[in-house]
Structure 1
Amino acid sequence: MAGGRRGLVAPQNTFLENIVRRSNVWTLSRRQTDTNFVLGNAQIVDWPIVYSNDGFCKLSGYHRAEVMQKSSTCSFMYGELTDRETMEKVRLTFENYEMNSFEILMYKKNRTPVWFFVKIAPIRNEQEKVVLFLCTFNDITAFKQPIEDDSYKGWGKFARLTRALTSSRGVLQQLQPTVHKGENVHKHSRLTEVLQLGSDILPQYKQETPKTPPHIILHYCAFKTTWDWVILILTFYTAIMVPYNVSFKTKQNNVAWLVVDSVVDVIFLVDIVLNFHTTFVGPAGEVISDPKLIRMNYLKTWFVIDLLSCLPYDVINAFENVDENWDPQDVTQGISSLFSSLKVVRLLRLGRVARKLDHYIEYGAAVLVLLVCVFGLAAHWLACIWYSIGDYEVIDEETNVARKDSWLYMLGETAGTPYRFNATGTGRWEGGPSKDSVYITSLYFTMTSLTSIGFGNISPTTDGEKIFAVAMMMIGSLLYATIFGNVTTIFQQMYANTNRYHEMLNSVRDFLKLYQVPKGLSERVMDYIASTWSMSRGIDTDKVLQICPKDMRADICVHLNRKVFKEHPAFRLASDGCLRALAMEFQTIHCAPGDLIYHAGESVDTLCFVVSGSLEVIQDDEVVAILGKGDVFGDVFWKEVTLAQSCANVRALTYCDLHVIKRDALQKVLEFYTPFSNHFSRNLLLTYNLRKRCFEAKWMLQTAEGCRAETKRSPCCSGRL
């Protein structure tokens, strides 16, 4: 399946995720405790807050729902000691779409005074139009002169001291980056440096395809596909040559083989390096291109196995003086044989085939070739073992007598190269068939045995040979029946889900073609099908839940909605029975970028909890809120009599998971569990209420700006504002 293999790469607006991620990178690099910021709409009167992160909420003491739609100048945190001149500078910065920084005294929700270093930066879209303001807050109270007073009395003295400190900018030297003397810095660049907000920290607010870092390789690109096939071929080469070299004791200091094996080892080492820079598909179906996540994923999965399979056993063994006349009494030769046997560890490279099977099974011819190769590989391994048994038993080491009933002895007589004792005065048995003849004969015997043909011209005679032959026949019957006898069944099982997926895709394509659906909408439909299939793997959740009894179904639903119940304080006092009743009514919705969850004027009959992703609320073509993980939107219909109509559009910016509950279902549960109903009504705060219209359109901003300009000329016009 292409969607599951490639991952989700549809264009999306990842502005919010980029701001949070890059701000965290900035934070860690400067050892700050937290990053606190809000986003304000630059196109609406009073620049309302459309998003605030958890750091700002924790710092200010306000809940996110309480600060949403308030002015991003944070005037609601001003107090009697806030400097009026600084307040005016903040307002002018917003009005002029400038980038600036301020040191200002503000108040938390509990009215505790705090000194903030506030940095304001405009955010532009693809048309270079300022659409948002990013305001970051750093608590610099520790840099201020402490006030030795246990109470909040004597504010006049405190005000005089703090205002005196405001005029001095020396405390900011510990917050601002160091600039070397003689460095020529442009004013705008210098200001950006002071704000610690470079172009890499301020992404544009626009729809774009996720970008891959330059040193990261896409796992589905042409280069990686070609490389995977090269690795597959070299893996089979290793699986063939390693058992052959170990069993037939080929000459280890052969320069040609040493060079070839060393080149193969280098290629597999390069593959390890590439795996540290190759994307992978995450659990949510998205393509993971973050280098840190890629490294951690590879280290926790295949790195150790790949490293063990790439150790230079041939190089180590080359330093041993290995001779074809192997003497088991020689300690040096025994160590050499041990190193030679350690090369079997290279067979761990077969794990590379296992992890890539989902790539190969999409092609029927490739599957058939792989099955045949597996069968041939099994015959090859068994042939190597068959020769090792014959080579061990052909000469009785205790009596130094050749066993004439051994298949190797009879093969030597037939081939005209019999075994002879002390033929050249070495005092050892010499002669015997050549290794090429022995290997071909061994492979012929294992093939005939595995396929249950068995002509009998080569047959086991010694006890060891007979035991091995029995085991090989059992293995052969299983392989033959599984691979060749049930090829049709294997294909059907491997392609069951894939066939359903492609049948659905074909039906959708025919539908789109028949009704001439526009290209843009067609692409959205196909992307939605691919993404939902990647998330659900074609599993019908409702059908599975219907199989389970009611009690078990409720437990599963509680587990599926555990993130909602744990993150929102409104559910903390709910009993087990209440949670189970609520969980049974919740539904999970997966949204693709660009999907509209609510249209303006549509009835709001659903309460939505955002579990992952980000969305934007659009009113009069203006973004009035950006919703992320943990936010709630909809309507407080448990407090209202009439059904509300949405005053804005809600559109997904990225891939989102929403847990939703219908109005009637929620009211039914609240009516039954009265104590929980009161707690729920008091503690559930909507991040955005779609019933309420909060702002007017752009023309109101233009009217306000005109009135301000008129006020400067005629003070009597100030009443309009």
Structure 2
Amino acid sequence: MPGGRRGLVAPQNTFLENIIRRSSSQPDSSFLLANAQIVDFPIVYCNESFCKISGYNRAEVMQKSCRCTFMYGELTDKETIARIDECLENQIHDQFEILLYKKNKTPLWLLLQIAPIKNERDLVVLFLLTFRDITALKQPIESDDNKGGLSKFAKLARSVTRSRSVLVSQFSSHLPNLKDTTKQSHLAHMMSLNADVMPQYRQEAPKTPPHILLHYCAFKAIWDWIILCLTFYTAIMVPYNVAFKNKTSEDVSLLVVDSIVDVIFFIDIVLNFHTTFVGPGGEVVSDPKVIRMNYLKSWFIIDLLSCLPYDVFNAFDHDEDGIGSLFSALKVVRLLRLGRVVRKLDRYLEYGAAMLILLLCFYMLVAHWLACIWYSIGRSDADNGVQYSWLWKLANVTQSPYSYIWSNDTNSPELINGPSRKTMYVTALYFTMTCMTSVGFGNVAAETDNEKIFTICMMIIAALLYATIFGHVTTIIQQMTSATAKYHDMLNNVREFMKLHEVPKALSERVMDYVVSTWAMTKGLDTDKVLNYCPKDMKADICVHLNRKVFNEHPAFRLASDGCLRALAMHFTMSHSAPGDLLYHTGESIDSLCFIVTGSLEVIQDDEVVAILGKGDVFGDSFWKDNAIGQSAANVRALTYCDLHTIKRDKLLEVLDFYQAFANSFARNLILTYNLRHRLIFRKVADVRREKELAERRKNDPQLDQQQDHLVRKIFSKFRRDR
């Protein structure tokens, strides 16, 4: 399936995910995001770590000023506050040490770092405020005057805020000696935020490291077809060389060709260590470490065994027959390269003609293998002195009879002369093809016991292959490509609809991306149709399992009984959104409560981002408090591929009315991250600056004297000019 094979590759705004990933690598770090285009710079996102150190939940922090005035206290340094205001107004990088207070009024020393975030137009749209708890580094200061009665920590808070160099020296005093310069540079990097390492707030295609190949790029597609051709070459030549002993140390041309093939397969192993793959969730995995571990756990051993230089072992051909035959048989291990075709079969199945050719090639390949085995049996019987085998009869018919000579090396007779290698192979292939497609013509027949046993086994295998491949080719193709056919049929219907109604190109591309990404997530399965197959009790169990992330992560559902959870789960619906999709429009009725399972969204009011919502957030309206249906005061747009679990207002109120005990717990514990009904009142920074510039311009304009502006004076002035 192309959508699933290609993965989710549409441009996404992964800014929030990148910041969360960087913050999670440093457990003591917390951060806020604030809108830089609105007066007072309101907070649009805060992570869980900030909620833990501050004591406030996310809903209480949202829309407050990023200056964190709600955490100021009497000992918060006024000079530091002024420096923070200046940094925000001038949109520059800086860091400060500041004393703030938790919700329970506990003092807290924090290292605050402020970094402006730019969009694709190089405009600062967000502020990233990173906090580090440095309370442990702030040692109490002893004072000679103990009459004040103030605690040591209060005296410390009143002291002048220390500079960054003092803080770094304190870090170095508490950390072990760093002799390695790389560790020192890491510490310096940890203490600073550079513009070149900050991600931008914009949509961009998934990035991969420069040494990583995309699994769907044109080069990789061509390379896979080359590997397919070389795999069939190996599957043909290896059995032929082993059976007919075609390749010897004197045959330089074949040795060179096989060596080149081995090198190409070894290069393929190296490329597999640097090629992305599609993860279980449809995402494109480009992390080099994850790619290497995935390949090592899957196909690396098989690929390595198929690339070993078995031609080196062929030097034993001139030694004892047993050892030479053993190392010659090791060449068959190269047939493991067929595993490359198996794991890339989904790519070849996209094309019906390619699938038909692969089936025919496989049928011919089996016939080729059986022909090589048939020749080996005839040669073995002839070497053992059986003069009525099919190979001996062929020699007599072609008037190229075999003869024996005494070998001094082996002290046994050796078979010489006989038909040419080409004649023997064509005859063997002719026999296997006639047996696989019919009952045979009898001109080449099994004579010895070994030949008859092999022929019986071959007929059984051939009957199954013939019935499967030729008798049910249409059925096999339909079964193997049913999902692909359904997928292409859906895409064709969407394309025809867009063409018929002349949908704009931009909107058409969004629709196509949504259809492809939704197919990648659902595999074309209709969840409601599958659930309707099950009885009510089983359906409820499945729904609880599908919504387990919502029930486990949100405290509002902890006191719900099993019956209550089952009733809620039956009414939850799961939806998938592509980047750029608008989930709510301004003025639209708010009839659902939405829980974000994966991805990130942005809430836009008056063309400004007022909130960024991520995994675990809840948005909608507090239906259980206000019975009237509200209207959305903002737009909600997806930044990345998002999975949402939603429940309709009527269904939620129906469950809450029935389970009164749970209703009280739900209303008390559910934290609505953003209420779409509430309209925020704010002024834009650009408008304030424009008003200041206009006021300054009016102030500098010269004031006209009323006497000079009098009507009579204007008439006399005009009369003088006319004279």
Output the TM-score relative to the length of structure 1. Answer: 0.88
- How far apart in 1 are the matches of 2:423 and 2:194? 71
2:222 is aligned, of 205, 220, 226, to 226
Q: Which residue of 2 aligns with 1:211?
A: 207
Tell me, what secondary structure is at the counterpart of 2:566?
helix
Match of 1:14 in 2: 14
C-alpha displacement of 1:498:
2.3
Counterpart amino acid of 2:155? R
- How far 1:644 sits from its partner (Å)? 1.3
For 1:4, the aligned partner's letter is G
Q: Which residue number in structure 2 is paired with residue 54 of structure 1?
A: 48
**Paired amino acid for 1:51:** Y
SS of 1:345's partner is helix
2: distance between equivalents of 1:451 and 1:18? 61
Change (3 A) 1:179 1:619: farther
Write out per-residue CA displacement over residues 15-36 of structure 1, whole angstroms, 9 at most, x where no aligned residue. 1122233455xx4xxxx43432
Aligned residue among 425, 435, 440 for 1:449: 435
Query: How many equivalent pairs are there?
Result: 678
- Displacement of 1:528 in angstroms is 1.1
- Partner Cα separation in structure 2 for residue 171 and residue 119 of structure 1: 13
Q: Distance in 2 between matches of 1:61 and 1:629?
A: 20
1:283 is displaced (CA, Å) by 2.7
SS at structure 2 position matched to 1:557: helix
Mark the CA change 1:622 to 1:416 in structure 2 (over 3 Å): closer, same or farther: same
Partner SS, residue 115 of structure 1: strand
Encode CA deviations 1:545-574: one digit per residue, 9 max, x unaligned: 111111111111111111111111111222
In structure 1, runs of 5+ residues without a counterpart are 181-190, 324-329, 397-401, 714-721
The one-character-per-residue Cα deviations of 1:243-296 (angstroms, maximum 9, x if unpaired) are 222333344424333322222111111111111222222333333333233223
Aligned partner of 1:390 among 372, 375, 378: 378
Q: CA offset at residue 194 of structure 1?
A: 7.6
Q: How do 1:613-628 and structure 2 match up within 5 A? A: 613-628=599-614
- What does the per-residue CA deviation read over 1:185-226, in whole Å, with 9 as the maximum and x for residues that have no partner? xxxxxx996853234431221222233332222222221111
Report 1:199-348 matches (<5 A).
199-253=195-249, 254-315=251-312, 317-318=313-314, 320-323=315-318, 332-348=320-336
Q: Deviations over 1:487-509 (max 9, x none)?
A: 22222223322222222222222
Residues 19, 201 of structure 1: 8 Å contact kept: no
Distance 1:120 1:322 in 2: 74
Structure 2 unaligned segments of length 5 or more: list them: 143-147, 180-186, 700-723
Residue aligned with 2:197, SS = coil
CA distance in 2, matches of 1:464, 1:194: 76
- Aligned partners of 1:256, 1:242: CA distance in 2, in Å? 15
The aligned residue for residue 78 of structure 1 is 72
Q: Aligned in 2, Cα 1:671/1:700: closer, same or farther, shift over 3 Å?
A: farther
Percent of aligned positions that are identical: 66
The equivalent residue for 1:586 is 572
User: Superposed, which structure 2 residues align to 1:708-719 within 5 Å?
Assistant: none
TM superposition shift of 1:479: 0.8
| Corresponding residue of 1:350 | 338
**Structure 2 CA distance, aligned partners of 1:699 and 1:321?**
83
| Alignment check: 8 A CA contact 2:431 2:440 kept | yes
Aligned to 1:639: 625
Q: Distance between the aligned counterparts of 2:6 and 2:606, measured in 1? A: 37
In the TM superposition, residue 418 of structure 1 has moved relative to its aligned partner by 2.9
* Deviations 1:591-639 (CA, angstroms, capped at 9, x unpaired): 1111111111111110000011110001111101001111110111111
Find 1:411's aligned residue among 367, 372, 394. Answer: 394
- Partners in 2 of 1:295 and 1:22 — Cα distance? 22
167 and 290 in structure 1: CA distance in 2 versus 1, 3 angstrom threshold: closer
Distance 1:159 1:348, change over 3 A: same
Q: Once structures 1 and 2 are overlaid, which stretch shifts more, 198-207 or 535-544?
A: 198-207
**What is the rounded CA distance, in whole Å, between the counterparts of 1:105 and 1:82 in structure 2?**
5
Question: 2:536 & 2:190 partners in 1: Cα distance?
Answer: 60
Q: Match for residue 495 of structure 2?
A: 509
**Aligned position for 1:420:** 403
- Separation (CA, whole Å) in 1 of partners of 2:122 and 2:61: 28
Q: 1:530-609, aligned counterparts within 5 Å?
A: 530-609=516-595
Equivalent of 2:35 in 41, 51, 59: 41
| Aligned partner (choices 150, 155, 158) of residue 153 of structure 2 | 158
1:630-660 CA-to-partner distances (Å, cap 9, x unmatched) read 1110111111121111111111011110000
Quickly say closer, same or farther: Cα 1:64–1:301, change in 2 above 3 A: farther
2:64 aligned counterpart, secondary structure: coil
Corresponding residue SS for 1:386: helix
Question: What's the RMSD between the two structures over aligned residues?
Answer: 2.9
SS in structure 2 at match of 1:633: strand
In the other structure, the counterpart of 1:719 is none
* Structure 2: distance between partners of 1:249 and 1:65: 78
SS in 1 for 2:317: coil
What is the aligned counterpart of 2:648 among 644, 657, 662? 662
CA contact (8 A) 1:6 1:219 kept: yes
When residues 141 and 336 of structure 1 are mapped into structure 2, their CA distance, relative to the original with a 3 A threshold, is farther
Cα contact 1:124–1:130 (8 A) shared by 2:
yes
1:500 to 483, 486, 497: 486
113-122 or 291-300, which deviates more: 291-300
1:620, 1:697 within 8 Å by CA — same for their partners in 2? no
Larger Rg belongs to: 2
Give the superposition deviation at 1:450.
0.8
Larger deviation, residues 7-16 vs 128-137: 7-16
- Are the counterparts in 1 of residues 278 and 285 from structure 2 also a CA contact under 8 Å? yes
Q: Distance in 2 between matches of 1:422 and 1:309?
A: 38
Q: 1:99 to 1:450 in 2, by over 3 A?
A: same
AA in 2 matched with 1:203: P
